[in-house]
Structure 1
Amino acid sequence: MTDVDSSDGLMTPIRPEQLEPGAVIAQSLDNQWVPVQLTKEMIERGRSLDQVGRQRVQEARTEYFRSLINASQVVINRAYFYNNDAINCDLAQGGEARTAHQRLLASGAIVPFLLNERHPAEEPPAHLHLRRDGFTAWQETLAGMPAADRVRCVRMSWNDTPGDQENRERTRIRLFQPFAEKVQGLTAKDIDILAAQVGVAREDTDRFGQRLGEVVGFSNDLSVRRQPVVRNTLYEEFVSVPGTNIAEGRYDRDKPFAAEIKQLLDLIYNVNLADALGRYPLTPVGSLRRVVLQEAREARATAGFVEDPEQLLTLLQRHTFATVQDHLTPSAVNALDLQDIWRLRQTSAWNEYIRAFDTLTAAPEAFHDSVGRVFDRYVRLNSEILRLAREGRHARPNHWRPVVEVVVTLGAAVFTAVSGDDMWEVAGSILPLTVSGSLTGSVQLVLRNRTAGRQEQKFAREIAAVRLASEREWSHFHDLVRRLPGYRDGRGPGPTGTASTTTQDNEDLPEY
């Protein structure tokens, strides 16, 4: 039997390799996503997800809009369309908001990910969490799409095998098994680096390592007993208040390092889907970045390895950009409407911005030749965003000082270079090197307002992976960076791995 290759009148099924090269998975739409700082506050004050719902939805909606502005295509777990208010509010509102969502679906800007279901409007199994009003709004949105429109839906396999066995097997191999492997590999990481990057104080590193050993041991025991290693089960044991529903999001202050373990589990969970689809997760502000996992992961089509210290240095060197004439930006992206986002994506400014970034990620070694074009298109895009905001009478402009920030992370060292607005700064935050052999890391490009608010337009994404072969190459790179004019060497409490991030508990493969 062959994969389905025709639509059913509404849906066009596609395979992971048919996603656009620039497609991303928005981590902020995960039903358990909470920024690092808010997670700690929730645990300290004993607050649930509902009790921080307004702030959380606001931040998730900001990241949702950022993903649609900064990526050509966004893949979203089907359950989030009806269980996540950051998305569903447009569907429930109806009118222009729902129409904008339908247009984004029809254009392929938004692609639902289907796990077990074969149709986006299919009723979920009774045992899964479902917001009935949200699901009704989702069904009405699909039913109300123009007859000629199609929704692209991605699934591991569309083969019509008995019991849908091929999809189940591919899902097990690509999603559930790698999740268990990543969890069980945590104690194989450099614990000093891992502790520093998740924000554990140095004096608590040994206790943190012991707790990770308990997580890994618990996971191993599940595997030996042939029980699934899933996030909900690990939450119950190491994160959540006993006896509470995981969906409530009540995290236990009496469980050691509950906040740090939650962030690691969430990171693993979300990069897993991105890996399975062959694309990158879009890490929200205030969440752990993938570099925390210390992976020597394979190069993808959208980002290769940087292995030469001199080449890595060029990413941190001074860049010259044209003077910005428009010094205003909307104060909050989520003050826009979804229809504004749709209109933005129809402009030449948006299309040129996406093409410029695609060129950069396709050849990160040509960074100096292409980053200026990305910056220029980013500035033009901001002007278009401001125009739309003004037309909608919700501009509330802020003063804008656009800068480019390059973040190079290597082990427990973070080097940043910020340029723009007639300034240039480079700094390093370095912990003592505790490993021998190769070091892995990443290069992240950030486009932002130098005087930023959390909810303004901002772009942050990995553009390359880094792999230095030895401590000698690391030392050489560090020496080169220290010679840059104006370099500052920061030796505070150490860097964290945050970005400037569902259940699998029954035989029928629940919502991922």
Structure 2
Amino acid sequence: MTDVNSSDGLMTPIRPEQLEPGAVIAQSLDNQWVPARLAKVMIARGQSLDQVGRQRNQEVRAEYFRSLINASQVVINRAYFYNNDAINHDFALEGESRTAHQRLLASGAIVPFLLNERHPAEEPPAHLHLRRDGFTAWQETLAGIPATDRVRCVRMSWDGTSGDQENRERTRVRLFQPFAEKVQGLTAKDIDVLAAQVGVDRQDADRFGRRLGEIVAFSNDLSVRRESVVRNTLYEEFVSAPGTNIAEGRYDRGKPFAAEIKQLLDLIYNVNLADALGRYPLTPVGSLRRVVLQEAREARSTAGFVEDPEQLLTLLRRQSFAAVQDQLTPSAVNALSLQDIWRLRQTSAWNGYIRAFGDLTADPGAFQDSVGLVFDRYVGLNAEILELAREHGRARPAPWRPVVEVVVTVGAAVFTAVSGNDVWEVAGSVLPLTVSGSLTGSVQLVLRNRIAGRQQQRFAREIAAVRLASEREWAQFHDLVRQLPGYRDAAGPGATGTASTTTQDNEDLPEY
């Protein structure tokens, strides 16, 4: 029996409940993540992930840095350390960046998630796609961590016999079974709503629904034969080009709705690990929103429920913020180095920002009183980021008009309010209530530059779960929102979603 609080030389094993309350799982670090717009271009042109590698890596790296800026702790699947160039770029060679990575590991800012392994440097199963040079650099990085430091690693269970039976069982129940259940439930959704949210034309909705039926039937057949329902298997059948390695990321334009199905499978997969660990996924820009799944779900342990229509309305009402003196921001977050990120996390500005956000999520009902402090701390943090970029001559400053955006989803409806910089807008994209989970949703807080820039610093986090008791409460909330000054209906049902991605393979326990 292993004591989960004992340390094994380099490593301190922890359970999911021992993660920090503000821990997140960064979806974009999946070695298959592609923004929806880029995925469609890839499929149309028959390109692989490597062929769009430069553009994709820039976006992944920006999301990686954002996660380390905006969250106290980031959980990363151990395979991504050696298979994702956006991450292993920093420790491929000895130097300042490798040292920064070691410090982030030792401080608990980065936590590897282990599936079957009992140590982060353990050789992965033979079936798992492995970039040997990345894995060697990962082992060297771990070996170079000072003997007095420890790396926190999270696993479903550390208890049990040498066969780790308890970990395998918990992983099946918490990861693989929910994935299969969500896939097999796709045809129980409102197909018209689902089609609209993933960008399928209205006239193709029936054909899309039949394709989903084929996926569900295929998945059910796997389950009946007691074979694991994993994303790679579904990719092979419905998304990937025949005869290609899944890791190559070459998707088949000849397979009906390959792009839309990829995004759906990826969304389902992406939220699974976050759910299993009791934390929220950090959703990248250009990723499908969870509301697409039309699910009834319990709140994660990091946030409470908002159940009162009046209280929900306060989240969308206009907020007042102090005037912003600093009118510049770095034009790209990935102009920074990992050492800059480490230094930033040591500043009082960063610590104040994280504390303010923690207070907000601990009591979302006090949003009116606490969001102003989060905004203020965010402005201060941006000034620190700009200063770090300037030190290296990498600032390339851009005009900055910071705003707060609150996104409330309930069922298939999305309401968005933007305030700050003398601007206030509130809009709704409302689709019909669905039978499954129609009265649940979430509240997301976004802090961003009103002048769009895809790789600029921005923040997007789920701060509360929504649960309305009945359609009466939903109607009351909808009526209240429509009475807000300047409210408008957003054009088109597709405004409720965009697109997403993640990873899965196979062994005794399939790869996750």
TM-score (normalised: structure 1): 0.97
Q: Does the residue aligned with 2:90 lie in a helix, a strand or coil?
A: helix
- How many Å separate the matches in 1 of 2:432 and 2:156? 43
Residue of structure 1 in register with 2:344 after alignment: 344
- How many Å separate the matches in 1 of 2:503 and 2:83? 13
Encode CA deviations 1:3-26: one digit per residue, 9 max, x unaligned.
343212211111111110110011
Residue of structure 2 in register with 1:189 after alignment: 189
Counterpart code for 1:67: S
Compute the displacement of 1:176 (Å): 1.1
Please, which runs of 5 or more residues in structure 1 have no aligned partner? none
- How many Å separate the matches in 2 of 1:260 and 1:152? 37
Whether 2:60 is the aligned partner of 1:72: answer no
| More displaced 10-residue stretch of structure 1: 2-11 or 291-300 | 2-11
CA gap 1:502/1:271 in 2 versus in 1, 3 angstroms: closer
| More displaced 10-residue stretch of structure 1: 197-206 or 13-22 | 197-206
Residue of structure 2 in register with 1:474 after alignment: 474
CA gap 1:312/1:170 in 2 versus in 1, 3 angstroms: same
Residue of structure 2 in register with 1:140 after alignment: 140
CA contact (8 A) 1:230 1:503 kept: no
CA contact (8 A) 1:502 1:510 kept: no
CA contact (8 A) 1:251 1:258 kept: yes
Residue of structure 2 in register with 1:412 after alignment: 412
CA contact (8 A) 1:413 1:495 kept: no
Residue of structure 2 in register with 1:423 after alignment: 423
- How many Å separate the matches in 2 of 1:260 and 1:469? 32
Encode CA deviations 1:42-78: one digit per residue, 9 max, x unaligned.
1111111111111111111000000000000000011
Compute the displacement of 1:434 (Å): 5.9
Counterpart code for 1:444: Q
CA contact (8 A) 1:313 1:477 kept: yes
Residue of structure 1 in register with 2:124 after alignment: 124
Residue of structure 1 in register with 2:447 after alignment: 447
- How many Å separate the matches in 1 of 2:430 and 2:138? 48
Q: Calculate percent identity across the aligned residue pairs.
A: 87
| Off by >4 Å, runs of 4+ in structure 1 | 432-438, 499-505
Structural mapping, 1:115-264, within 5 Å: 115-264=115-264
Residue of structure 1 in register with 2:44 after alignment: 44
Residue of structure 1 in register with 2:492 after alignment: 492
Q: Does the residue aligned with 2:317 lie in a helix, a strand or coil?
A: coil
- How many Å separate the matches in 1 of 2:507 and 2:193? 36
Residue of structure 2 in register with 1:317 after alignment: 317
CA contact (8 A) 2:198 2:499 kept: no
Q: Does the residue aligned with 1:390 lie in a helix, a strand or coil?
A: helix
| More displaced 10-residue stretch of structure 1: 60-69 or 458-467 | 458-467
- How many Å separate the matches in 2 of 1:500 and 1:440? 21
Compute the displacement of 1:432 (Å): 4.5
Whether 2:358 is the aligned partner of 1:358: answer yes
CA gap 1:478/1:420 in 2 versus in 1, 3 angstroms: same
Compute the displacement of 1:209 (Å): 1.4
CA gap 1:64/1:24 in 2 versus in 1, 3 angstroms: same
Q: What RMSD over aligned residues (CA atoms) do the two structures have, in Å?
A: 1.7
- How many Å separate the matches in 1 of 2:500 and 2:130? 33
| More displaced 10-residue stretch of structure 1: 70-79 or 477-486 | 477-486
Residue of structure 2 in register with 1:91 after alignment: 91
Q: Does the residue aligned with 2:89 lie in a helix, a strand or coil?
A: helix
Counterpart code for 1:282: L
Residue of structure 1 in register with 2:7 after alignment: 7
CA contact (8 A) 1:283 1:501 kept: no
CA contact (8 A) 2:59 2:455 kept: yes
| More displaced 10-residue stretch of structure 1: 271-280 or 393-402 | 271-280
Compute the displacement of 1:204 (Å): 1.8
Encode CA deviations 1:422-448: one digit per residue, 9 max, x unaligned.
111111222355659952222111000
CA gap 1:506/1:319 in 2 versus in 1, 3 angstroms: closer
CA contact (8 A) 2:77 2:112 kept: yes
Compute the displacement of 1:395 (Å): 0.4
Q: Does the residue aligned with 2:407 lie in a helix, a strand or coil?
A: strand
Compute the displacement of 1:449 (Å): 0.1
Counterpart code for 1:27: Q
- How many Å separate the matches in 2 of 1:113 and 1:434? 35
Compute the displacement of 1:499 (Å): 7.6
Residue of structure 1 in register with 2:375 after alignment: 375
Encode CA deviations 1:61-105: one digit per residue, 9 max, x unaligned.
000000000000000011111100010000113200000000000
- How many Å separate the matches in 2 of 1:19 and 1:441? 24
